[in-house]
Amino acid sequence: MSTIQEIQKEIIEDFAMFDDWIQKYEYLIDLGKELSPIDEKYKTEDNLIRGCQSRVWLHAEHTDGKIIYTADSDAIMSKGIVAILINVLSGQAPSEIATAKLDFINKIGLKEQLSPTRANGLVSMIKQMKLYALAFNN
Amino acid sequence: MLDISKIRKQFPILSRKVNGQDLVYFDNGATTQKPQAVIDSESNYYQNENSNVHRGVHFLSGLATDKFEETRNTIQAFIGAKHSHEIIFTKGTTDSINLVANGFRTLFKKGDEIIITELEHHSNIVPWQMCCEQSEATLKVIPLLDNGELDMNEFNNLLSESTKLVAVSHISNALGTINDIEEIIEKSHKIGAKVLIDGAQAASHVSINMQELNADFYCFSSHKMFGPTGVGVLYGKEEILNELSPYQGGGEMIKEVSFSGTTYAELPHKFEAGTPNIAGVIAFKSAIDFITNLGVETIAKYEDELLQYVTSEILKIEGVKIYGTAKNKSAILSFNIEGLHPYDIGMIVDKMGIAIRTGHHCAQPIMEKFNIPGTARISLAIYNTKEEIDLCINAIKKAKLMLS
Ligand SMILES: Cc1ncc(COP(=O)(O)O)c(C=O)c1O
C-alpha cells in the first residue's frame, strides 16, 4: 500500500497531463462514475456532510488498524471529488489520516477550479474524514 | 426602439471576463448588476456629501438629509404611495418582513391565523413562524398546483374570520409565478385581514401602484433592482404603521427620551433607528431613475420576449423539465435535466462564463413539493440578450454531454 504522500504525488502527476478545465472535469466525472457504491443502509441523514450543495454521504469503518471510507453523492462532480479523497485516505491508519497534509488540492488546481461553494463542500468532506480518523484513533 | 447594447454599456461589470470567457450573467433573481450612475452616485456621496442625516445643523448634514429624503420621495412616486412617510428604509426585503412580523407579535393572539403560501422564500416563512411562536397564532399555508400557481380554491377555504394576516410574494423567485395578488388582497380585506406582499422579485419587473393595489405592506430590496446592497423598503399604510410598535430602539426613532419613559418619533423615523445606509439610499435613487427612464412596462415586455425565447430553446434539449409553467410568469426559468444534478450543470456552465443559480433558492418547501433536491435557474434582466441565451443553451448542452 502506498503512503498518503505517494498517492498524492501520483494524483498531481495525473492532473499535470491535463491542458484545460474540461479534461480535469471529465476526469473527476469519470472518478465519480467509478466510485464503488456505498451500502444503501449507510445513506442516512447522519452520514450526510453539511456544507455541500449536493447531498454527500460518507461512511467510515475501522478494520485491522485502517479506515475504509465509502461515499456517494447525488451529484456526479461531488462524487468525483469525494472519490479522489477516498483514493488518498481510504485504507490508511487513523493517525496518518488525522495528520495528513492534503497539499495535492492546491497543486492540481482543484480548489481554484472549483467554485467557492464547491470548495466549501471539499473542506467539509476533509473535515469529516479527519473527524472519523480522530475518533478511531482514541 | 430599445437599444440593449446601449443599456449594456451602462453596466461596467458586463464587459468583464469570467474564467477567460465573456460573462453571461443570468443570476439576476439573486441580485442584479449596477449601472454606472448608481456606482457614481454611491462614490460621489462619500467624496462630496458624506455627513449624517437628520441631525446636524451644518451644510453637509442638510445636503445629505435632502438627498436621502429625495430617494424617499422618488420611491413614493415610483410605487404610487399616498404619503412619503409610508416609505420606511430597511436593510432589505428580509428586514422589512421581520419588522412587520415583529410588530404583530404583540397584536396577534391564540386562535388568530396567518396565511402564507407554499412558494414563499424563507424570508417570508421564518419571520411568521417566529411571530406565531410568540403570539400563539397559527400558520396556514396555501398549497401550490403542479404548474406553480397557487391553489386559489384552497386559499378561499383557508380564509376565515380568524385570518388576521396574509403574507404572499408577488413573484416567486424559484418558479417565476406572478401571483394574483389583486384577488388575494381583495378577498383578505373582505374578511378584515391585512396583507403583506413580498415584492422582492417584482419591483423592477412589473409596475406597482400602492393606492390601486391597496396592499397594507409591500416589501422590496434595492439590490434586486440595480441599486446597492443593504437597502430595502417597507411600504406600509400610515394607519397600520402607526399601530405597530417599533422594531428597534435607538437614536433617530425617538421624540423624547427620559428614564420615566420614551416617546416615539413620527413615521417614518419611528422605524428607522440608528444611522441608516445613507450612501446606499442616495444611490438607490439613481437605480429607480434608471428603471423609470426605461419604463417598467418596456422592461417587462422585453424580459417576456427573452423568457419566451429561452423557454422554447431549452425545451429543445432532451430530458429538460421546467418547474413553474404558470400562465402569468416573470423572466425566471427553473429547470432540471433528467438524470443530472442541477449542481453539476451549474458547475460546468460556470467554466464557460455563465452564471446561473443552482440549489433550492431559499424555497425548500417548493423543492419538497416537486420532490427534487433543487433546480438550475436562469433569471433574466433588461441587459440580457438572445445571443447570451444561445451561449447559455450551448453551454448546457455541453454540460449534458460531459455528464451523460
Ligand atoms: C421572493 C424573495 N423574497 C425575499 C428575498 C430576500 O431578499 P433580501 O435577501 O434582499 O432580503 C428574496 C431574495 O432572494 C426573494 O427572492
Three-state DSSP string of A40-87:
HHHCCHHHECCCCCCCEEEEEEEECCEEEEEEEECCHHHHHHHHHHHH
Mutate to test the pocket of ligand 1, among B125, B201, B284 (most ligand atoms within 8 A of CB): B201
Does the pLDDT value for residue A120 go beyond 90? no
Q: What are the grid coordinates assigned to B313, written together?
A: 430553446
Partners of A74 on chain B (C-beta within 8 Å) are: 341, 373
State whether CATH 3.40.50.720 applies to domain B39-292.
Answer: no
Query: How many Å lie between the centroid of ligand 1 and the Cα of residue A117?
Result: 20
Task: Give me the residue spans of the domains in chain B.
Answer: 4-28+295-403, 39-292
Does the pLDDT value for residue B123 go beyond 70? yes
Per-residue pLDDT of B34-66, as tens digits, reads 999 999 999 999 999 999 998 778 999 999 999
Domain of residue A82, residue span: 4-136
- Main-chain phi, psi angles of A79, to 5 degrees: -65, -40
Mutation site for B-interface testing, chosen from A30, A76, A113 by largest number of B Cβ within 10 Å: A76
**Looking at residue A131, which CATH number applies to its domain?**
3.90.1010.10
What pTM does this model have? Answer: 0.93
Q: A29 — contact with chain B (CB < 8 Å)?
A: yes
Residues B339 and B404: their CA atoms lie apart, in Å, by 8
Q: A76 — contact with chain B (CB < 8 Å)?
A: yes
In terms of Cα–Cα distance, which of A88, A94, A92, A90 is closest to A14?
A: A88
Partners of B30 on chain A (C-beta within 8 Å) are: none
- Main-chain phi, psi angles of B168, to 5 degrees: -145, 150
Per-residue pLDDT of A40-95, as tens digits, reads 999 999 999 977 778 899 999 999 999 999 999 999 988 999 999 999 999 999 99
Helix spans in B105-218 (H):
126-135, 152-158, 181-190, 210-213
Query: How many Å lie between the centroid of ligand 1 and the Cα of residue A80?
Result: 33
Q: Using a 6 Å CB cutoff, which residues line ligand 1?
A: B 92-94, 121, 123-124, 169, 173, 198, 200-201, 221
Using DSSP, state whether B286 is helix, strand or coil: helix
Query: How many Å lie between the centroid of ligand 1 and the Cα of residue B258?
Result: 38
- The angle, 0 to 180 degrees and rounded to 10, between the axes of the packed helices A21-34 and B386-403 is 40
- Distance from the Cα of residue B38 to its chain's centroid: 18
Domain boundaries B4-28+295-403, CATH class: alpha beta
**What was the ipTM of the complex prediction?**
0.87
> Are residues A21 and B19, on separate chains, in Cβ contact within 8 Å?
yes
Residues B331 and B386: their CA atoms lie apart, in Å, by 13
Per-residue pLDDT of B271-303, as tens digits, reads 999 999 999 999 999 999 999 999 999 999 999
Q: Which amino acid is at B58?
A: H
Q: B362 — contact with chain A (CB < 8 Å)?
A: no
pLDDT of A117:
57
The tally of domains found in chain A comes to 1
